Amino acid sequence: MIEFRGVTKQYPDGTLAIEHVDIVIQPRTITVLVGSSGSGKTTLLRMINRMVDPTSGQVLVDGTDVATVDPVRLRRSIGYVMQNGGLLPHRRIVDNVATVPLLRGVAKSAARARSLELLDTVGLDRGLADKYPRQLSGGQQQRVGVARALAADPNILLMDEPFGAVDPIVRLELQTELRRLQSALDKTVVFVTHDIDEAFALADQMVILRTGGIVAQIGTPAEVLAHPADDFVASFIGADRGQRRLRLQPRDPASGRIVVVDSAGRPAGLIEDDHASIGDGASPDVKAS
């Protein structure tokens, strides 16, 4: 479990990056910190592995205040994935993945063997092991970044806009992959993004932040959709523009399927279970995507 207790970060010039934040992150869930730039989401994330220390308040991991833990040791016990992969350009893929085990003093051969397994885990060909990062595509580098973060088998995975620099198709693929990995590996994932759709796609719990590091709302995606805490949240998730309001269209006579459309009448999807029909009052489970 990760807990932020009254966390504030103020820079020497007086600007508040984070203002009195309380968050509880349950183990083995995906929590998404979402907000536009300047909302302090990355700063919050980096407080967990002490790349940033709060000016006041506490960050606890499994009940231990991280301020009492040596930062280098702490970081080696927490996986970290960043935008563009952040791979070391001068190390081969296999060595990049083995970075943390090697830092922890694991024997080179064992670390390399584990690296190769992890390439399988994240769906990469072992043939890439001896290449350098720049020889890989953006999506592949991102997968290597995830493999590297998993190498020391951490309980916690911090992800800082990890899929921000890849194209939309690869991004969707990586999001699906992350959910698969999370359910298979049972990690506590804290994920930072400015993309609200990505947040809805991944989150068990969403933390919506506004400029100045203020928490606007915490809740499950369904709660946030159903009850935006205020106008800011409503606007941020697109509810005020009708983007999240979906309607069912009358059954298409040719295929017999029911199409879901958004407020502008554009198709957003199909109803999976079409026993439910319009007019009988049953509201089928429509998920915004």
CB of 261 to another protein, least distance (A): 41
Torsions phi, psi of 97, nearest 5? -65, -35
Q: How far is the C-alpha of 235 from the C-alpha of 230, rounded, in Å?
A: 9
Residue 86 found at the interface with another protein (CB under 8 A): yes
Distance, in Å, from the CA atom of 135 to the CA atom of 140, rounded to the nearest integer, reads 10
Q: How many residues bind another protein (CB under 8 A)?
A: 25
Task: Name the residue nearer to another protein (CB basis): 142 or 217.
Answer: 142
Give the whole-angstrom CA distance, residue 98 versus residue 76. 12
Residue 138 in the binding site for another protein (CB under 8 A): no
Q: How far apart are CA 93 and CA 134, in angstroms?
A: 10
- How many C-beta atoms lie closer than 10 Å to residue 278's C-beta? 14
CA-CA-CA-CA torsion sign (89, 92, 93, 96): negative
Asked if residue 108 binds another protein (CB under 8 A), the reply is no
Residues numbered 219 to 238 that lie near another protein (CB under 8 A) are none
The type of residue at 106 is V
**Binder among 9, 148, 171, 187 for another protein (CB under 8 A):** 148
Which C-beta is closer to another protein: that of 152 or that of 260?
152
Q: In what order do the strands lie in the sheet with 259-262?
A: 246-248, 259-262, 267-270
Strands 246-248 and 56-61 come out as: unpaired
In the complex, minimum distance from the CB of residue 134 to another protein, in angstroms, rounded to a whole number: 8
**Nearest approach, Cβ of 161 to another protein (angstroms)?**
11
Q: From residue 44 to residue 83, what is the string marking binding to another protein with x (rule CB under 8 A)?
A: --x--x-x--------------------xxxxx---x-xx
Query: Which spans of this chain sit near another protein (rule: CB under 8 A)?
Result: 46, 49, 51, 72-76, 80, 82-84, 86-91, 99-100, 103, 132, 134, 148, 158
